[in-house]
Structure 1
Amino acid sequence: MRYAREQVRRIDPADWAALWGAYATLDVRGKLAHFPGPTLVLAGAAEVSATPESTTGLAGAISGATYRELPGTPHMQTLERPELVAQALGEFLSRG
């Protein structure tokens, strides 16, 4: 967490604003139907920017995608709840 926090603190505010402005106009939903599988879509139950509601829509647009919501997990899943991410990936990959 210390590394991620330090990286966020180093970002120029103008660059950060430009990044979020670009995200606001990004729409890839029309391309998701052709996304190759298998696909695991993970959502953090405590996520506030890419909410579980929006993530279920993403998963629903990908043919055959598996959706998994991680309890108590915020935005930086791999940093803040790596054990839940590893468990979800392990279960997904073991299904082959």
Structure 2
Amino acid sequence: CIRIWDSAKMEGRNIANRSRQVFNGQSGPLVGMTLCHNNESLAAISSTGAVMVVRIEANTNKMNNIMNRQLDLHEEGAAVDISHYGSESQSVLVYATML
């Protein structure tokens, strides 16, 4: 489960005890996450070989799945790390696997 919290509501008198957004669409335990697309999306990998990108929407309590890829664990191995490199003209998502 991926949860996003509003850090402004975690301080002071009005402490929020609920996450602002939740995503339950992954398969298996998460191994890594990284922000991408100008911090508007979150890429995550799981131990089952799932690579997913979800869009963080400002005015809703759910994240929208915008990309899924299932790695073949026998051919490619499971993803163990993920990172994002981006500029104004391009966005590159990189993940490492182990066989």
- Select the structure that is richer in strand: 2
Bucket of the pairwise TM-score, normalised by the shorter protein: under 0.3
TM-score (norm 1): 0.25
- Select the structure that is richer in helix: 1
Relative CO higher for 1 or 2, CA cutoff 8 Å, sep ≥ 6?
Answer: 1
TM-score (norm 2): 0.25
